[in-house]
């Protein structure tokens, strides 16, 4: 019987020891009270508490947590009621303050978030509320982080998930947005037509300039060609005159040397003129004293042909 009692006591003691051994997991913390007063905070690892004296008052998660609050009515500065739902990202940094700082911390955070949101939106008009999400998020995060610091909570981020204005205002906003899109489209279309007209005008101007340049170059080339032709023509006439003068000079020299009669001189002159006529000259200038001889030579040629 005594062995049975001893065995039972040993088993009970073993169970008591086992039940007072606790293993704290990663990213968690246990708040320990001794005789109803705060004793310590257990971190990660194996811990043993004194039976019937120590107790685990609260198990706390140190991970970042998310609170997604349902939409709540908020009134803007210009008396427009809209529905806004908020998402708060927070993390417990001090398990002791979290356990003893406030009763029901999550409910307190929800109430504080709603009150802060109403205060901020109440200072903004509808258009500012719709276009100032980042400003609202920043203000709310700063206010909530400061307010929850005595509770051992750090607010990392606050986001406005949805902003829902009344149906009539939303319809008016959609019409306004459609009108704005139509206006922008008309402006873009007008700018496109303007640029197209400018490009066409510039193309026509450049084409006219090129045509004028081409006509100018053609006129210059024609003038240069006429000039060259006139120069060549004048050179030919000058060459013919020089040839006739040279022939007359040769004839005079022969007359001086052999003293022939006038008829021989005139015949020599006619031979020189025939040489000139065989050249490329287009005009031949005949001295006045030779015109009678030319007529006589023509008569003799015609008489020969008739016989």
Q: Are 48 and 77 within one domain? A: no
The residue ranking higher by pLDDT, 254 or 168, is: 168
* Res 303: pLDDT: 44
Domain end point (choices 61, 84, 109): 61
Q: Does residue 232 fall inside a structural domain?
A: no
CA distances from 76 to 71, 79, 128, 211 (A): 15, 5, 9, 69
The region of weakest confidence among 80-84, 125-129, 258-262, 264-268 is 258-262
Domain end point (choices 149, 165, 181): 165
Q: Does residue 175 fall inside a structural domain?
A: no
Q: Does residue 177 fall inside a structural domain?
A: no
Output the pTM of the full model: 0.55
- Whether 136 has a pLDDT exceeding 60, the answer reads yes
Domain end point (choices 116, 142, 165): 165
Q: Does residue 13 fall inside a structural domain?
A: yes
- Whether 11 has a pLDDT exceeding 80, the answer reads no
Range of the domain at 20: 2-61
CA distances from 302 to 263, 305, 306 (A): 19, 5, 6
Q: Are 83 and 138 within one domain? A: yes
Q: Are 56 and 126 within one domain? A: no
Q: Are 53 and 87 within one domain? A: no
- CATH code assigned at 149: 3.30.479.30
Number of structural domains (the chain) is 3
Q: Are 114 and 27 within one domain? A: no
Tens digits of per-residue pLDDT, 19-36?
788 888 888 999 999 888
Q: Are 91 and 46 within one domain? A: no
Tens digits of per-residue pLDDT, 194-252?
888 888 888 888 888 888 888 888 888 888 888 888 888 888 777 877 776 777 777 66
- Binned at pLDDT 50, 70 and 90, residue 299 comes out as very low
Q: Does residue 22 fall inside a structural domain?
A: yes
Would you put residue 259 in left (φ > 0), alpha (ψ -120 to 50) or beta? left
* Res 274: pLDDT: 58
- Binned at pLDDT 50, 70 and 90, residue 10 comes out as confident
Q: Are 51 and 82 within one domain? A: no
Q: Are 147 and 78 within one domain? A: yes
* Res 286: pLDDT: 54
- Binned at pLDDT 50, 70 and 90, residue 307 comes out as very low
Q: Are 29 and 81 within one domain? A: no
Q: Are 46 and 128 within one domain? A: no
Q: Are 25 and 109 within one domain? A: no
* Res 21: pLDDT: 85
Cβ 105 vs Cβ 128: under 8 Å = no
Q: Does residue 217 fall inside a structural domain?
A: no
Q: Does residue 192 fall inside a structural domain?
A: no
Q: Are 46 and 88 within one domain? A: no
Tens digits of per-residue pLDDT, 83-126?
999 999 999 999 999 999 888 889 999 999 999 999 999 888 88
Q: Does residue 46 fall inside a structural domain?
A: yes
State the average pLDDT for the chain.
Answer: 80
């Amino acid at each position: 019987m005594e062995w049975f009692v001893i065995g039972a006591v040993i088993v009970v003691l073993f169970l008591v020891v086992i039940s007072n051994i606790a293993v704290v997991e990663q990213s968690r913390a246990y708040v320990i009270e001794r005789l109803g007063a705060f004793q310590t905070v257990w971190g990660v690892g194996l811990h043993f508490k004194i039976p019937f004296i120590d107790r685990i008052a609260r198990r706390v998660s140190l991970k970042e947590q998310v609170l997604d609050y349902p939409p709540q009515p908020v009134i803007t500065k210009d008396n427009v009621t809209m529905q806004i739902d908020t998402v708060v990202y927070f993390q417990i940094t001090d398990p002791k303050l979290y356990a003893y700082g406030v009763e029901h911390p999550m409910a307190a955070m929800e109430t504080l978030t709603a009150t802060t949101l109403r205060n901020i939106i109440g200072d903004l008009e509808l258009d500012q509320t719709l276009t100032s999400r980042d400003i609202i998020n920043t203000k709310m995060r700063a206010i909530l982080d400061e307010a929850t610091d005595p509770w051992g909570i750090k607010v990392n981020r606050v986001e406005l998930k949805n902003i829902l204005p009344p149906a009539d205002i939303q319809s008016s906003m959609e019409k306004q947005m459609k009108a704005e899109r139509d206006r922008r489209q008309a402006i873009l279309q007008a700018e496109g037509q303007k640029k197209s007209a400018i490009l066409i005008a510039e193309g026509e101007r450049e084409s006219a300039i090129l045509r004028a340049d081409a006509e100018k170059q053609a006129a210059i080339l024609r003038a240069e060609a006429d000039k060259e032709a006139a120069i060549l023509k004048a050179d030919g006439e000058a060459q013919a005159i020089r040839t006739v003068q040279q022939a007359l000079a040769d004839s005079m020299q022969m007359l001086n040397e052999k003293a022939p009669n006038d008829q021989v001189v005139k015949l020599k002159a006619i031979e020189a003129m025939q040489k000139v006529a065989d050249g490329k000259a287009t005009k031949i200038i005949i001295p006045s004293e030779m015109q009678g001889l030319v007529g006589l030579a023509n008569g003799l040629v015609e008489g020969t042909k008739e016989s």
